[in-house]
Amino acid sequence: MKRRNFFRHLKCSLVLLLLLQLTGCWSSKEIEELGLVAGTALDLEKKADLSEEIEGQEERYPNRVMITITNQLITSQTTESGKKTGAPQQKSFKNVSETGDSILPILRKMILKIDKRAFAQHSKVIVIGEDLTRTLNLQQILDFFLREQEMRLSGLILIAKNNAKKTLESQETTVIPAFHLFQITKSQERTTKILPPLSLAKVMGKLHSGSSFLVQTVVSENSEVKFAGAAVIKGKTKKLLGFLNEKELEGLAWLTGKGKGGVVKSFDEETSQPIIYEIKSMKSKIQPRIVNNNISFDVKIESEGSIAEHWVPSGKPFENEFLKKAEKTTEKEVERLVKNILVKTQQNYKVDIAELGNRLRIEYPRVWEKVKKDWDHTFSKIPIKYNVNLTVKDYGTSGSN
């Protein structure tokens, strides 16, 4: 009986699939009628050109925050078609901007400029400008995108230093900037200067947790767009607190053990020549301690890697003496990186972006319940000891006897 029912259901499914192929799905959208959104940028508009719908309301709402939204649409033009027809090459994208005081009305105003319905299910990134993130909290800024059913929660969140709109611009005709930004995040496995990708879904979880966290920073300078450090979002306010530079981001990767690859550049003390250590693996064991109700942390950092490059004339890569020397030199540099990030987070920003509080919550839940309400402040006064142990397992194929 079960086998008969199985084949009956299979037959019905095949018939239904055939009907869908012949007639098309009733809810489908013709791709020619859609304006595919590749990415979105949001900026604080300091000198807004007020439209008719909000003119005359300045006295009623004098403190209204104006936002400029830029949608990047994929065009149907291609470089190859331009070459074949002899026509001038058209860009693969088109940026459309509008200004207002709330997200949905701004997007609706864009209808007046584009001849297709904006469709954001394939959107890759949302880039938020620095000034806007300092003025409004991320919960307010992203509320619409979290509610919008067409928006995929896998889209990435980035914070732009200065202007977000500029990060979606490019002089190259075949490049779609939003896709380019998305691809850069995949390099995280080969460097400690890029954060793990932070999706809209993950941001939603961090905002609800009330914890401070980091968002990858992107900057546009001299017509070049690149990742440059990270933005610090304070848990209590959900606003931008400040930035970490690339070196500080490296230190954080070592402190947390979340880096997957990269290099450490140190210098030989005798010759001042560089030694390049390539990371093969890294891990960090964070151990909270409670003594007489006082909290502290011990961090044990370990890594295995190779000497990828060295400029020391007298250094022989195959000799144990040189390898031990390279290990100690690199360990000192990692210790310096970790020390700098602890100074920045504990003394300057006073926020726990290394998630040490999470380790305390897991191992000492009762203690965590007492301190979690004002954890960032408590974290800024907690002693943190760290120990670094690096091992050179490989020195490449070059060397001398």
pLDDT digits (tens, 9 = 90+) for 134-160: 999 999 999 998 888 777 888 999 999
Query: What is the model's pLDDT at position 222?
Result: 82
Where is average pLDDT lowest: 58-62, 113-117, 352-356, 360-364? 58-62
pLDDT, tens digit, 9 for 90 and up, residues 187-229: 888 899 999 999 999 999 999 988 999 999 999 988 889 999 9
User: In this model, does residue 50 exceed pLDDT 60?
Assistant: no
Report how far apart, in Å, the C-alpha atoms of 336 and of each of 37, 254, 255, 280, 359 are: 43, 11, 11, 20, 23
* Cα 378 to Cα 87: distance, rounded to the nearest angstrom: 64
Which of 344, 356, 380 shows the shortest CA–CA distance to 211?
356
pLDDT, tens digit, 9 for 90 and up, residues 81-117: 444 555 556 788 889 999 999 888 888 888 888 767 7
Domains recognised in the chain with CATH numbers:
31-48+63-244 (no CATH), 249-394 (3.30.300.210)
Query: What is the model's pLDDT at position 64?
Result: 79
Contact partners, residue 211, CB within 8 Å, separation at least 6: 235, 352, 355, 357, 358, 375
Query: What is the model's pLDDT at position 25?
Result: 46
Give kind and range of the element (H or E) at residue 387: strand 384-394
Give me the mean pLDDT over the 41-48 stretch: 83
pLDDT band at 245 (very low <50, low <70, confident <90, very high): very high
User: In this model, does residue 61 exceed pLDDT 80?
Assistant: no
* Cα 159 to Cα 99: distance, rounded to the nearest angstrom: 19
Give the SS3 label for residue 94.
Answer: strand
List, in sequence order, every residue forming a beta bridge with 388; answer none if it has no partner. Answer: 301
